[in-house]
Amino acid sequence: MAPGHPATPAAADLLLARDRLLAAAGPRSAAGHRLTPAALREALADLHEFWLTAHADRAGIGGRGGGVALFAVGGLGRREPVPYSDLDLVLAHDGRTRVDDLAERLWYPLWNSGIGLDHSVRTVGEALEVASGDLRTALGLLDARHLAGDAEITARLAASARDRWRSGARTRLGELVESVRARWSRAGEVAHWVEPDLKHGRGGLRDVDVLRALALAQLVDRPDADVTAAHTLLLDTRTELRRIARRPRDVLRPQDGDEVASALGLTDRFALARALSGAGRAVAYALDVALRSTGADSSPRRVLGVLLRAPARSPLDEGVVLHGTEVALARDADPAKDPGLLLRVAAASGRTGHPIAPAALARLSESAPEPRAPWPADVRQDLVALLGAGEGLTDVVEALDRAGLWARLFPEWGAVRDLPPRDAAHVWTVDRHLVRTTVTAARLVTSVSRPDLLLLGALLHDIGKGRDRDHSVVGAALAAQVGTRLGLPKSDVDIVAAVVRHHLLLPHTATRRDIDDETTIHRVVDTLGGDPVLLELLHALAEADSLATGPGVWTEWKARLVADLVAHCRTAMAGGTLPQPDPLDDAQRALAESVATTGRPDVLFEGAGQAATVTLATVDRPGVLSRAAGVLALNSLQVHAATVATHAGIAVGVFAVTPRFGSLPDPSLLREQFTRAISGSLPLAEKLAAKEHDYGGRATDAPAPKVLWFDHEAGGPDPRAVVLELRATDRIGLLHSVATALESEGVDVKWTRATTLGTAAVDAFGFTPPATPHWRTHIEHRVLDAAR
């Protein structure tokens, strides 16, 4: 705090009045009613304008002819401030008036009171000069709103800024596009992200501001009714999100969704997510079309600003041409009489990366029929070409879907359109996830003998979501329905349906079961009917699906496990001899024999980079798994798989690990900590609790953990062996806590597999149950308590 500028009661009064206003806007206000989001923004604007006007008067800003003016830009300039917004203020002067002391009297009370402030002090000429080189400033001045002082200065600066923008906007389009795309790459999309950035994301409020700026420059029409409605929903959602969060926040998280939805009169977070997705689509599409129409997204040949010639029309396919930078219909094309034209246009757009012209979309929407079932072979081939287009597929599906054409091809799509996922690992809505999976699968088509079925399976694998039953079962029936309509042979229809039905089989088995056990391998082979084509399709889809789910879902460890499982299944399908699993290799047996000689625990560390195998050996005793897991967790190592075997009277735990963050630890530190953990001198539970607290603690609103039992999937020689599968919120010490709980019930765990999906963990444990009555109930209660 600067000396001589204490927080004034007036500034504190502004904060108090703001907080009271936000409290009155809540659902249970003392007045018995609540302000709508629009009314709250208007009240906030009135409050800030009133206070700033009075504050400016106290600070000594003169009126007309005084040579100094205070005005607002940003949200307050547009009279749409949301709760906890910064104040974007400009003190403009004529260059003849000394403003240093005046600026301090204005700014310091705001700073000292904790009000967010973005400010500047400039002459009119300086402000215009900055705007000429800084796009953000140029756009901000378009919203200038006078607050206090010499109104003529504000009017002159605002008029000059608008005139300069109108005359020079076309020359700044390249800079504008670069800025917009950089923002999109950082913030993602409103329409399809599970946690949309309402302000900065593609299709968000910043994009509405860009559309308004382009309209002000008379480069495009004013935003239409769809964009206006989308803007209102985005702004209302951002208003309620900040009111509920009681702090600045622009990213809507799933856990905030129900309360925000209720405040907006929607049923739940899923209804809100779908509404926001539609709003984001409308804004993003409008801006895409606007940028294309201005030439900002193309490079026409010009000399001294004059276009040399009209855009060329080059043929792309029958009835399809490239007109300038857009895919358009040929002059003699007739969508009503050509059922394959729609997919030829779509395939050409996906293949070339050029967008479909809005006029072509409108004409196709008006008259293109749905292909009659069964589809002709050439129409089906155009669909495969579109699905194999790679990155170009995303924008094509988005354009077709917005025009109502994608549903004409796939009526089943309606249930997943804009559908938010129900698990934390997914970063996309279900429909965008399906498209992203297909895009990724297009890079894997050379790994399978039936690329067409891989692409179709990728597009449909989650089509059953949004219903009340198992989405794999529902999806298989829908996939069969689609395949029949497309005119696929019965054998191909059966394969596509099986791909959808079993698309989770390989990753779930590989990460949750012992893949070296014959029981596991034969169960997978039997499920797939011994079909090697289906096996290779599921292998490719497992990779594409994981990569399209979110960061960190497809790891080197997971890829290796799935590949090993597929290799074992291929061997079994071919009638070959499966390799006999050996829990320990030569180096690990040598480690056990050394520990048997010395009696001291020891560690073997193998690996580099982001993956390693850690072997911990000690004299056989209860608690090896839990203590080893605790030591690894203390060193921020995430355990993916573990087996516990004995050799020469020594318990040997083999752990596949990767660092949660950073790099792998020093093996000597692991050895020292493991020795102390075995002796009991290292308080693991206390250390892990402290580490969890340091990294944010445990989630307070975590879903309840769940235990599942599988009685015939543990493998091994003992027919009584079972698998316990725990599904819970992930945390650093989870495996240690659960292993401790199991050991307390006399359970000797033979193997474990641990999978992390976003914030969720799925940990499976294979063991022979103890010979005690009601063992299942006791174990389940202990494990659930540990998970909580």
Determine the average pLDDT of the residues in 115-139. 91
Does the pLDDT of residue 697 top 70, yes or no? no
Task: Give the residue from 383, 675, 434, 693 showing the smallest Cα distance to 545.
Answer: 434
For domain 9-168, the CATH class is alpha beta
Q: Which residues contact 390 (CB under 8 A, 6 or more apart)?
A: 350, 439, 442, 443
Under the banding of pLDDT at 50, 70 and 90, the label for residue 301 is very low
Asked whether residue 29 carries a pLDDT value surpassing 50, the answer given is no
Q: Where are the alpha helices (DSSP H) in 487-598?
A: 490-501, 505-512, 518-527, 532-547, 556-573, 586-598
Record the pTM.
0.79
- Residues 6 or more apart whose CB falls under 8 angstroms from that of 586 comprise none
Please report, rounded to a whole number, the percentage of residues in the chain having pLDDT higher than 70: 92
β-partners of residue 655 are: 614, 642
| Edge-first strand listing for the sheet containing 87-93 | 117-123, 87-93, 68-73, 145-149
Please write down the HEC assignment for all residues of 429-466: CHHHHHHHHHHHHHHHHHHCCCHHHHHHHHHHCCCCCC
* Lowest mean per-residue pLDDT among 92-101, 119-128, 264-273: 92-101
Residue 701, pLDDT above cutoff 70: no
pLDDT confidence tier of residue 155, bands split at 50, 70 and 90: very high
Average pLDDT over residues 566-587: 86
Spatial separation of the C-alpha atoms in residues 439 and 430, rounded to whole Å = 14
pLDDT at 694: 76
In this prediction, residue 7 carries a pLDDT of: 41
Residues 684, 631 contacting (CB under 8 angstroms): yes
User: Quick one: pLDDT at residue 702?
Assistant: 64
Q: Is the pLDDT of residue 300 over 70?
A: no
Spatial contact of 277 and 416, defined as CB atoms under 8 Å apart: no
Q: How confident is the model at residue 181 (pLDDT cuts 50, 70, 90)?
A: very high
Whether the predicted pLDDT of 345 surpasses 90: yes
Give the rounded percent of residues in the chain with a pLDDT score beyond 90: 55
Residues 107-125 have pLDDT tens digits of 888 777 777 888 899 999 9
Question: Residues 314-343: pLDDT tens digits?
Answer: 899 999 999 988 999 999 999 999 989 999
DSSP SS3 for 122? strand
- Which residue did the predictor score with more confidence, 477 or 659? 477
pLDDT in tens, 189-224: 999 998 999 999 999 999 999 999 999 999 999 999
Q: How confident is residue 306, by pLDDT bands cut at 50, 70 and 90?
A: very low
State residue 55's pLDDT score: 86
- Average pLDDT of span 710-717: 75
Rounded CA-CA distance 637/364 in Å is: 55
pLDDT score of 513 more than 70: yes
**48-52, 65-69, 538-542: least confident range:** 65-69
Judged against a pLDDT cut of 50, whether residue 31 lies above it is answered with no
Give the pLDDT confidence score for residue 8 in this predicted structure.
44
Identify whether the C-beta of residue 292 lies closer than 8 Å to the C-beta of residue 311: no
The band of 405, judged by pLDDT with boundaries at 50, 70 and 90, is very high
- The β-bridge partners of 303 are 306
Q: What is the mean pLDDT of residues 674-679?
A: 90
Cis peptide before 770 (omega within 30 of 0): no
Q: What digits encode the pLDDT tens for the residues 756-771?
A: 766 778 888 988 888 8
Show me where the domains of the chain are located: 9-168, 172-293, 427-579, 594-787
pLDDT exceeds cutoff 90 at 26: no
CATH 3.40.640.10 for the 172-293 domain, yes or no? no
Q: What is the amino acid identity at position 705?
A: P
Higher pLDDT, 212 or 712: 212
- Residue 82's nearest CA partner among 200, 242, 229, 257 is 242
pLDDT of residue 666: 85
pLDDT of residue 63: 67
Per-residue pLDDT, 33? 61
Residue 299 pLDDT more than 60? Answer: no
- Provide the mean pLDDT of the chain: 88
| Bridge partners of residue 53, in order along the sequence | none
pLDDT at position 608, please? Answer: 63
Yes or no: say if 495 and 474 are a contact pair by the CB < 8 Å rule: no
Each residue's pLDDT tens digit, 236-267: 999 999 999 888 999 998 888 999 999 999 99
Q: Using the predicted structure, report yes or no on whether residue 741 has a pLDDT greater than 50.
A: yes
Asked whether the beta carbons of 723 and 513 are under 8 A apart, the reply is: yes
What's the whole-number mean pLDDT along residues 23-42? 71
